[in-house]
């Protein structure tokens, strides 16, 4: 929007004049944000779809409400102002005021303008709820002196980052991963006796069962979940109370502990004040660590979904050992073609998360002196990864994993024709003789049995006794 007043078709002004420490600025009449928000809106027109994540906005609702309560308990904010602030914060938490947060992530690296966006919206919303017109008279609840009391953008934004990150992991990411893990665990048990050929280096190897193969995927997701849950403790530490540089300047005694307790109460999550506020402002190792676990899970999902789609490849001219659910037509030109679309979606999500991890790694390494100024991009990338993984796991589970079935004919064909069953002969005739059998079978297009007998290395009866795929799969638990 231009700094000049806008006039609608009736000739009436559609903007109002707001003031901040830099002077006047025109702000849309129909919105609750103020001068600092509007300056940011004008100065950072970067990216068409880079809005501050709603999870961060919700987190600001929690932390501003908690700050009002803590300040009131410590006798630096009147009870009536506390309640007015808390009521608007509840509206923010419910998502009723998200349209009042127009800023993008590409702004000041401390998130100052988003912090002030929250302060201005809360203050102006209270003004209107008291029956006043926007821009009319003096604000009873001041955005800086009341809503932002005992706070700095430098400790509120990292607090919002931790609240949002912790909540989305608990609400979206972990449940999604658990759902997929549990489905694969069931499949592993159901298919534990389906003997199939193994593959290493993309080449035939010795047998295993389909259940054993899938159990590896279950274990990967289990380890990823454990790693992710381990990072929650660090994420539960909140910077609020550190104010500008970590010293807690302009906060009453005990504020940091009290405000963290209120945030824990309001969210139902085990938040606590950070042990070291200087780390909490200057470094964001907790997000780097936690996203590292998300990257680990992305690596696992890439591996799992790629393996499943390759095992299902075909249906006639490739591996074809699995049947996947058929969800939609796969081609606009090839009739009857069906593609592993859920697998492709998961692998794209995994690639995005891996890319996000690079951005978070670079951003996290750039905390200079008392402040990291890459906070918004870290928050946005983390929240995107967390939601993508949770959603992708749910989608893959519902539309693919639940419907996975063995293609018994394909499994049997590959098992019976594999040359690597010859490995079972090693203890009886030695590695070199076993290799001769396999190479001759391949060269002469014969079965292992035919090759072994024609070379005079094994009798028919010995082959039956020694080469049994079901005896080559170890102990099935």
Q: Tell me the catalytic residues.
A: 201, 331
Dist CA 130 CA 194 (whole Å):
71
Does the annotation list 338 as a binding residue? yes
Closest by alpha carbon to 192, among 214, 220, 219, 207?
214
Q: Which two tokens stand for residue 370?
A: 């008392």
Dist CA 357 CA 461 (whole Å):
58
Dist CA 223 CA 165 (whole Å):
20
Dist CA 223 CA 293 (whole Å):
10
Closest by alpha carbon to 126, among 152, 162, 91?
91
Does the annotation list 206 as a binding residue? no
User: Cβ contacts of residue 75 below 8 Å, gap of 6+?
Assistant: 252
Closest by alpha carbon to 162, among 58, 247, 244, 88?
58
Q: Which two tokens stand for residue 77?
A: 């904010």
Question: How many Å is the Cα radius of gyration of the chain?
Answer: 31
Does the annotation list 143 as a binding residue? yes
Closest by alpha carbon to 381, among 52, 43, 153?
52
Pairing assessment for the beta strands 367-368 and 405-406 based on DSSP bridges = unpaired
SS in 3 state form for 410-458?
A: HHHHHHHHCHHHHHHHHHHHCHHHHHHHHHHHHHHCCCHHHHHHHCCCC
CB 84 within 8 Å of CB 126: yes
Tell me the β-bridge partners of 209: 195
Does the annotation list 339 as a binding residue? yes
Dist CA 61 CA 82 (whole Å):
13
Does the annotation list 305 as a binding residue? no
Does the annotation list 145 as a binding residue? yes
470 burial (CB, 10 Å; 0-12 / 13-18 / 19+) is exposed
Does the annotation list 154 as a binding residue? yes
Does the annotation list 119 as a binding residue? no
DSSP 3-state of 212: helix
Does the annotation list 111 as a binding residue? yes
Does the annotation list 142 as a binding residue? yes
Q: Which two tokens stand for residue 396?
A: 């893959």
Q: In 151-246, which ranges are E strands?
A: 195-200, 203-209, 237-238
Residue ranges for the known binding site for substrate are 110-112, 142-145, 152-154, 200, 332, 337-339
Residue ranges for the known binding site are 110-112, 142-145, 152-154, 200, 332, 337-339
């Amino acid at each position: 929007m231009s700094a000049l007043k806008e006039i609608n078709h009736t000739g009436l002004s559609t903007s109002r004049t707001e003031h901040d420490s830099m002077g006047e600025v025109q702000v849309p009449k129909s919105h609750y944000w103020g001068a600092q928000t509007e300056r940011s809106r004008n100065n950072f027109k970067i990216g068409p779809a880079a809005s501050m994540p709603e999870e961060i906005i919700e987190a600001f609702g929690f932390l501003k409400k908690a700050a009002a309560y803590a300040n009131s308990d410590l006798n630096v904010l009147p009870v009536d102002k506390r309640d007015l602030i808390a009521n608007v914060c509840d509206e923010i938490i419910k998502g009723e005021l998200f349209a009042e947060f127009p800023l993008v992530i590409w702004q000041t690296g401390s998130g100052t303008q988003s912090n002030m966006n929250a302060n201005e919206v809360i203050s102006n919303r209270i003004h209107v709820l008291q029956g006043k017109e926007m821009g009319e008279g003096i604000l009873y609840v001041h955005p800086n002196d009341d809503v932002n009391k005992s706070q700095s953008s430098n400790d509120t934004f990292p607090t919002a980052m931790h609240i949002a990150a912790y909540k989305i992991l608990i609400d979206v990411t972990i449940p999604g991963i658990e759902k997929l893990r549990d489905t694969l665990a069931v499949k592993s048990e159901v298919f534990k006796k389906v003997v199939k050929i193994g593959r290493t280096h993309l080449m035939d190897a010795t047998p295993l069962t389909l259940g054993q193969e899938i159990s590896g995927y279950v274990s990967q997701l289990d380890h990823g979940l454990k790693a992710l849950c381990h990072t929650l403790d660090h994420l539960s530490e909140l910077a609020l109370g550190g104010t500008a540089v970590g010293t807690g300047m302009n906060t009453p005694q005990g504020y940091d502990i009290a405000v963290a307790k209120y945030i824990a109460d309001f969210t139902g999550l085990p938040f606590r004040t950070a042990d070291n506020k200087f780390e909490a402002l200057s470094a964001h190792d907790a997000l780097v660590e936690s996203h590292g676990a998300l990257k680990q899970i992305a690596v696992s999902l890439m591996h799992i979904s790629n393996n499943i789609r390759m095992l299902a490849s075909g249906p006639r001219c490739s591996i074809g050992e699995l049947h996947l659910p058929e969800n939609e037509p796969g081609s606009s030109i090839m009739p009857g073609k069906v593609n592993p679309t859920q697998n492709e979606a998961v692998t794209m999500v995994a690639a995005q998360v891996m890319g996000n991890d690079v951005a978070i790694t670079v951003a996290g390494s750039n905390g200079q002196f008392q402040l990291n100024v890459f906070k918004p991009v870290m928050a946005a990338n983390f929240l995107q990864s967390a939601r993508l993984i949770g959603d992708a796991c749910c989608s893959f589970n519902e539309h693919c994993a639940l419907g996975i079935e063995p293609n018994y004919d394909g499994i049997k064909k590959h098992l019976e024709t594999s040359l690597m069953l010859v490995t079972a002969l090693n203890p009886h005739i030695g590695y070199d003789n076993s290799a001769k059998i396999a190479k001759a079978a391949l060269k002469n297009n014969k079965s292992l049995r035919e090759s072994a007998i024609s070379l005079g290395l094994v009798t028919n009866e010995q082959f039956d006794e020694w080469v049994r795929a079901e005896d080559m799969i170890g102990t099935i638990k």
